[in-house]
Amino acid sequence: MALILTFLGKGGVGRTTIAIAAAKRLAGQGKRVLFATQDAGPAAGLLIGSALDAEASTLEPNLDAVQLQAAALLERSWEEIKKLEAQYLRTPFFKEVYGQELSVLPGMDGALMLNAIREYDASGKYDVIVFDGAGDQATLRLLGMPESLSWYTRRFRQVFANSDLGRTVSPFLQPIAAAVLNVSWSGDLFDQPATQQMNNLFDQGTAALADPNRVAAYLVTTPDEAAVVTAKYLWGAAQQAGVTVGGVIVNRAEDSSAILAQFEPLPVTSVSDQPIQSWQPLIEALPDFDQATQAPRPIAVNVAERKVSLFLPGFDRKQVKLTQYGPEITIEAGDQRRNIFLPPELSGKPVVGAKFQDGFLIISF
């Protein structure tokens, strides 16, 4: 399993340059690295010194690179869907539709790219995948997609099972589904081979997101005030999405002392602007990415004390909203909403108190 490393920050702060330098540094340490860029244009290839393609290719020892092109990913995924359809349906109906005919709908590219990263990770070929994404809320939503989809699955599954509609149609759906599908269908409609396979992928993605050894982000900023404010906002948004932020890289700065206090307790690293023809000074200035595991975790659950703590830097108490409508609790901060899946000891128990202290939202049950 690979570490998925990404970089967050305002446009124009040099995220792609930092990502390439990070990939080169990790490859130089003997790790097998894949640099995967979401940028469909030629800029990343120009920076890295080689044209990038939709298929991974080797740039230098231990370093491969790929340009995640949504249209090519859609065509590949469509063929996989048709294989699954042929496996589970007696009379497949997608077989007459070809991937080359399909266009990418809004929002579809994120899911396709996340699946591509998952496949590269599952291949076992890489120790690190450096993902050069948009570096904003879209990247955070992409990485947090498995947890979000997992919530939709388990929540609506229970709602449907408890509803009059679910109890009424289930006896009829099972024999109809059994007649259509190539499997013996009985019991829970949501607990069937294809659905269970999807749920397993969601669970794996959620577990990876919660582990800083598997997914970590670094903030990239310049001394510019707008860039710093954006980085601080993305720090809090990343924690809300469940992504561990390992540190801050201040680009185009000889001295980052004025910025240190704004990102405590994260380590802050200064790098000066370097020409891309000379990567080595930038590579040597980068932080030790293995230290991301020392950063504050997005969420901590203390069953013994009946408390849940969320680290939400960059927000104040007026920007954070806590609600409890169902068996889980929902936290809103900025433009991010997170449903907290509680352990059985706390699930369904009412919230008796909440306070915002030193960047932490501490919830008591």
The gap from C-alpha 222 to its chain's centroid, in whole angstroms, comes to 24
Q: Output the pLDDT for position 347.
A: 82
- Predicted confidence band at 128 (pLDDT cuts at 50, 70, 90)? very high
Q: What is the pLDDT of residues 5-64, one digit of tens each?
A: 999 999 999 999 999 999 999 999 999 999 999 887 888 888 888 888 888 999 999 999
- Predicted confidence band at 274 (pLDDT cuts at 50, 70, 90)? low
Q: What is the mean pLDDT of the chain?
A: 80
Q: Which range, 69-73, 93-97, 348-352, has the best average confidence (pLDDT)?
A: 348-352
Task: Give mean pLDDT, residues 243-249.
Answer: 92
Q: What is the pLDDT of residues 286-300, one digit of tens each?
A: 999 988 888 888 888
Q: Which helix (H) or strand (E) holds 310?
A: strand 307-311
Domain 3-73+101-148+206-294 matches domain 299-364 at the CATH topology level: no
What topology does CATH give the domain 299-364? Answer: Immunoglobulin-like (2.60.40)
Domain boundaries, the chain: 3-73+101-148+206-294, 299-364
Q: What is the pLDDT of residues 217-243, one digit of tens each?
A: 999 999 999 999 999 989 988 888 888
Ranges of H-type helices in the chain: 15-28, 43-48, 70-88, 108-122, 137-143, 145-162, 164-180, 193-209, 225-241, 257-260, 280-285
Give phi and psi for 264, each to the nearest 5: -60, 140
Task: Give mean pLDDT, residues 315-322.
Answer: 83
CA distance 82 to 95: 6
Angle at CA of residue 107, ends 77 and 242, nearest 5° = 95
Q: Output the pLDDT for position 63.
A: 96
CATH architecture, domain defined by 3-73+101-148+206-294: 3-Layer(aba) Sandwich (3.40)
CA distance 301 to 85: 40
pLDDT at 262 over 90: no
More confident residue, 197 or 312: 312
At 145, which amino acid appears?
A: M
Q: Output the pLDDT for position 93.
A: 62
Q: Output the pLDDT for position 140.
A: 85
More confident residue, 335 or 365: 365
Give phi and psi for 155, each to the nearest 5: -70, -50
Q: pTM (2 decimals)?
A: 0.80
Write out the two tokens for 93.
């109906």
More confident residue, 341 or 175: 341
- Predicted confidence band at 98 (pLDDT cuts at 50, 70, 90)? low
CA distance 99 to 212: 36
